Amino acid sequence: MLPEATPPPPPADSRSSSDSADDESTGRRREFAALLGEFRRTAVLVPLGEDEAPLVGEYGGVRWIYAFSDEAALSRFAVAKADGARERTYRTVLGARLLDAAVPAAGVPCGVALDVGSGGDGVLFPPVAGIVPDGAAVDVEDGERPR
């Protein structure tokens, strides 16, 4: 008896749409990982509220610490909040310190919003495993990381 014939492999340039979507998803994850690494190594500006604590916002049940890449981005945010004439004090903080110390210290689900109000150039670093410590990640239960 002859073995069953197997179809030849598809040509190298004919890929399924799911392969293309997987590649796109992998590419986006790599881009985000690179952006996260850069953010962790970079000093950012953190505006302070009247109580000298970092300025935060609440959205979707998450507290977001506002951070800005430069004074121009901070100024655009102030103008967007109709707060442009007010002098804003800020601290310069390493991105890693925000994610590793400030987020867990919040005591509630908390992430970092970088350059919000900057014309679509903002980035959110949500409180999930791989971005913040597991103890502050909302997707980690009982000390175990999601797979």
Instruction: Assess if residue 82 is contained within a domain.
Output: yes
Mean pLDDT, residues 16-30: 80
Instruction: Assess if residue 31 is contained within a domain.
Output: no
Instruction: Assess if residue 50 is contained within a domain.
Output: yes
Total domains in the chain come to 1
Instruction: Assess if residue 5 is contained within a domain.
Output: no
Structure tokens at 99: 């994610």
pLDDT of residue 44: 98
Report whether pLDDT(15) > 60.
Answer: no
- Looking at the chain, the whole-number percentage of residues with pLDDT higher than 90 is 59
Q: How far is CA 27 from CA 22, 137, 146, in A?
A: 8, 24, 21
pLDDT of residue 40: 98
Instruction: Assess if residue 49 is contained within a domain.
Output: yes
- Selected residue with higher pLDDT from 85 and 87: 87
Instruction: Assess if residue 76 is contained within a domain.
Output: yes
Overall pTM > 0.85: no
What range does the domain containing 49 cover?
Answer: 43-136
pLDDT of residue 87: 77
Locate tokens 């919000």: which residue?
Answer: 116
Structure tokens at 117: 């109000």
Instruction: Assess if residue 102 is contained within a domain.
Output: yes
Instruction: Assess if residue 7 is contained within a domain.
Output: no
pLDDT tens sequence across 112-133? 999 998 776 899 999 999 999 9
HEC string of 37-76 equals HHHHHCEEEEEECCCCCECEEEECCEEEEEEECCHHHHHH
pLDDT tens sequence across 34-67? 999 999 999 999 999 888 999 999 999 999 999 9
